[in-house]
């Protein structure tokens, strides 16, 4: 199976590496020139649980030409439209596309390029890091929940699940994946924006009752908007889940902190809290906490001179 | 007239200096030892419009013993209860007390120590800075609006207005000072907390439509709560005023930025946005923007290791 990883950062490298090791033809796509050069010259270096170094094919998205059997989308949220535009030449009649991006609402973008029966929406708890160009840090275990966007596609996605499981990716076909996607968005919506704004680790933010008031208010808005959109969400279960993740992840800076504070890059806020605020407006549901944190993150992007 | 300045930071020094120059007996009260030592040793140095150096009496609040004719309260908001406790020995039957603190709700604290007919509530647009211990920067002009808290005190406060005007302080007896106090609180509530959180100048924060959405939402909550409390506020007039001040003050960091970011001191947030959120709860009015920014500022105080 010819598999493209569209967006080969840390997570893309993990999935591409595991799939190639299991015997699939894998092509990494990315636009970070240093990363491309490093992998072309030295192969992909793996550090962490099982150090390794393997030759892998990597290129710019626009350089890809052979029709894909399967594409895993793993860009930053705001890079998705450009990525889809750049790879439309490899999307065929039967190309399956799995979206594993953080955040909400990506299906609306993907449907412009892919037939609904070929779209898979998913969420993963695998993790990965980059030590630098061409060097991925792979530690621990994870899993992926995914579902065909359209019930017509369920049968034909069985092959995708098989291929990914042969690569040890622990994929579960989920008859209702949206609650898991929203639950992960809640984790990001309570940790990413807050820690980026307050310049702190997850544990530092979650340490006071004041901060937890904000956390609970954000989760409440996600649940109100999600439930009104037909997603089966249990607010108290999500609060418990977020608190649990905040303990495990306490010493870490979330990805939005890395983007905004450490690297002065645009954030994914419009696809996390901003997506809930947007959908809330359409549904007539007030989301002041999501709206305010979105506005403040955008203000901070502007203050740091990061432009769209 | 024996006048105490209870809280002799930049603004306290300005008022104390002008009152002493006009012939009054002025005693500065403060707890900052370096500031006390500097003024005792070298006098109060004035830089700015009219450089000067004058001998002034300064001491710790607990060292004051002679009954006051008039006390100007000019502490940071959270220091007010301790200050009143420390100076209760100088409060007599006829001691007038003028509150010029930033923020809302101080009357509730002052009434525990001072008869209502002796309380004056005020607001000022004078400014001042400190260049270091014992050195005040005095530039520009200003004015003070004040009103007796209790109509019984109006007549006897005429003398206070006279004395302050002889010192060039441009005092207006305002038949309804609360709208001005709330209007200034709106300025602080939209600039202080936001710039402290985003680590930026007023101009940097007010530069985007995203940020202005937050500004307008905060003003709306101040007005809803203020109007429900009987204060005559005109929301669109206040929006215009805040925008006007934001242009004049664009290059500056507001005082809460100086407290939190620059000096790692506790902020006055509970007396600005926090006061509106508290009063909103009592009145059954939702104030998510004020509540969230209060929670985030407290979270940041905790992250910086500042304890109450």
Q: Is the pLDDT of residue B307 over 80?
A: no
Answer yes or no: do B208 and A289 touch at CB < 8 A. no
CB A145 within 8 A of CB A28: no
Answer yes or no: do A296 and B194 touch at CB < 8 A. yes
Specify the pairing of strand A96-99 against strand A119-124: parallel
A184 assigned to active site: yes
Answer yes or no: do B295 and A204 touch at CB < 8 A. no
Q: What confidence tens digit (pLDDT) does each residue in A273-293 have?
A: 999 999 999 999 999 999 999
pLDDT given at position A113: 97
Same fold, B2-175 and B178-304: no
pLDDT given at position B155: 86
pLDDT given at position B208: 94
Q: How far apart are CA A216 and CA A222, in angstroms?
A: 10
Using CB atoms, which residue from A214, A296, A298 is nearest to B295? Answer: A214
Complete DSSP assignment for B110-132: HTTTS-GGGEEEEEE----EEEE
Answer yes or no: do B214 and A292 touch at CB < 8 A. yes
Q: What confidence tens digit (pLDDT) does each residue in B81-130 have?
A: 999 999 999 999 999 999 999 999 999 999 999 999 999 999 999 999 99
Q: How far is A306 from chain B (nearest CA, A)?
A: 13
Q: What confidence tens digit (pLDDT) does each residue in B7-32 have?
A: 999 999 999 999 999 999 999 999 99
Q: Is the pLDDT of residue A118 over 80?
A: yes
* Average pLDDT score over chain B: 96
Answer yes or no: do B303 and A205 touch at CB < 8 A. yes
Cα A274 → chain centroid: 16
Answer yes or no: do A207 and B302 touch at CB < 8 A. yes
Q: How far apart are CA B265 and CA B271, in angstroms?
A: 15
Q: What confidence tens digit (pLDDT) does each residue in A216-251 have?
A: 999 999 999 999 999 999 999 999 999 999 999 999
In the CATH hierarchy, which top-level class contains the domain B2-175? alpha beta
Any idea what DSSP says for residue A254?
P
- E-strand stretches of chain A: 2-6, 25-29, 44-48, 52-54, 57-59, 70-73, 96-99, 119-124, 129-132, 135-138, 144-148, 171-173
Nearest to A121 by CA among A69, A167, A175: A175
Complete DSSP assignment for B39-107: HHHH-EEEEESS-EEE--EEE-GGG--SPPSEEEE-S-GGGHHHHHHHTGGG--TT-EEEE--SSS-HH
Q: How far is A256 from chain B (nearest CA, A)?
A: 15
Work out the burial of residue B84: count CB atoms within 10 Å of its CB; fewer than 13 is exposed, 13-18 middle, 19 or more buried.
buried
Minimal-distance CA residue of chain A relative to B305: A204
| ipTM here | 0.88
Span B224-249, average pLDDT? 97
Q: What is the largest CA-CA distance in chain A?
A: 54
Minimal-distance CA residue of chain A relative to B194: A296
Q: How far apart are CA A289 and CA B91, in angstroms?
A: 45
Task: Determine the residue among B206, B208, B210 to mutate to test chain A binding: the one whose Cβ has the most chain A Cβ atoms within 10 Å.
Answer: B210
Answer yes or no: do A296 and B207 touch at CB < 8 A. no
pLDDT given at position B153: 78
Report the percent of chain B where pLDDT is more than 90. 96
pLDDT given at position B158: 93
pLDDT given at position A212: 98
pLDDT given at position B308: 66
Q: List the beta bridge partners of residue B145.
A: B123, B172
Q: CB atoms < 10 A from the CB of A17, how many? A: 23
Span B236-240, average pLDDT? 98
Residue B253 tokens, joined: 């960091």
Answer yes or no: do B211 and A294 touch at CB < 8 A. no
Q: How far is B43 from chain A (nearest CA, A)?
A: 41
Give the domain ranges of chain B. 2-175, 178-304
Q: Is the pLDDT of residue A18 over 70?
A: yes
Q: What is the largest CA-CA distance in chain B?
A: 54
Q: What is the interface size between A and B, counted as CB pairs within 8 Å?
A: 98
Minimal-distance CA residue of chain A relative to B196: A198
Span A8-15, average pLDDT? 97
Q: How far apart are CA B281 and CA B272, in angstroms?
A: 15
pLDDT given at position A308: 66
Give B292's contacts in chain A (Cβ within 8 Å).
Answer: 214, 217, 288-289, 292-293
Minimal-distance CA residue of chain A relative to B296: A211
Answer yes or no: do B205 and A299 touch at CB < 8 A. yes
In the CATH hierarchy, which top-level class contains the domain B178-304? mainly alpha
Minimal-distance CA residue of chain A relative to B214: A292
Q: How far apart are CA A146 and CA A181, in angstroms?
A: 9
Nearest to B280 by CA among B218, B193, B235, B232: B218
Q: How many helices (H) and strands (E) does chain A have?
A: 12, 12
Task: Determine the residue among B264, B292, B305 to mutate to test chain A binding: the one whose Cβ has the most chain A Cβ atoms within 10 Å.
Answer: B292
Span B181-189, average pLDDT? 97
Q: How far apart are CA B110 and CA B87, in angstroms?
A: 12
Q: What confidence tens digit (pLDDT) does each residue in A162-178 have?
A: 999 999 999 999 999 99
Main-chain dihedrals φ then ψ at residue A169, nearest 5 degrees: -90, 0
Q: Is the pLDDT of residue A186 over 70?
A: yes
Taking an 8 Å Cβ-Cβ cutoff, which residues of chain B contact chain A? 194, 197-200, 204-205, 207-208, 210-211, 213-214, 217, 286, 288-289, 291-296, 298-300, 302-303
The pLDDT confidence band at residue B48, using thresholds 50, 70 and 90, is very high
Span A170-188, average pLDDT? 96
Span B59-85, average pLDDT? 97
Q: How far apart are CA B6 and CA B96, in angstroms?
A: 13
Report the percent of chain B where pLDDT is more than 70. 100
């Amino acid at each position: 199976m010819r598999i493209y990883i569209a967006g080969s950062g840390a997570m893309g490298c993990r999935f591409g590496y595991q799939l190639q090791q299991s015997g699939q033809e894998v092509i990494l796509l990315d636009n970070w020139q240093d990363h491309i050069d490093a992998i072309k010259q030295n192969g992909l270096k793996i550090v962490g649980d099982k150090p390794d170094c393997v030759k892998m094919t990597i290129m710019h998205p626009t350089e890809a030409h052979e029709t894909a059997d399967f594409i895993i989308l793993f860009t930053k949220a705001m890079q998705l439209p450009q990525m889809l535009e750049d790879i439309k030449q490899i999307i065929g009649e039967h190309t399956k596309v799995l979206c594993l991006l953080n955040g909400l609402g990506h299906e609306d973008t993907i449907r412009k390029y892919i037939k609904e029966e070929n779209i898979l929406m998913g969420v993963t708890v695998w993790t990965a890091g980059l030590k630098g160009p061409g060097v991925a840090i792979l530690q621990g275990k994870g899993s992926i929940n995914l579902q065909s966007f359209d019930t017509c596609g369920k049968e034909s996605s069985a092959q995708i699940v098989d291929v990914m499981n042969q690569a040890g990716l622990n994929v579960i076909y989920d008859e209702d994946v949206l609650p898991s996607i929203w639950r992960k968005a809640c984790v990001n919506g309570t940790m990413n924006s807050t820690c980026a704004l307050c310049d702190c680790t997850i544990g530092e933010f979650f340490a006071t009752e004041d901060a937890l008031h904000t956390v609970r208010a954000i989760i409440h808005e996600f649940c109100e908007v999600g439930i009104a959109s037909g997603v089966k969400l249990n607010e108290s279960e999500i609060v418990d889940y977020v608190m649990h993740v905040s303990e495990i992840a306490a010493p870490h800076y979330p990805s939005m902190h890395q983007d905004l504070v450490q690297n002065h890059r645009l954030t994914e806020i419009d696809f996390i809290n901003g997506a809930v605020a947007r959908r809330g407006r359409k549904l007539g549901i007030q989301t002041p906490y999501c709206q305010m944190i979105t506005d403040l993150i955008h203000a901070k992007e502007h203050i740091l001179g990061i432009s769209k």
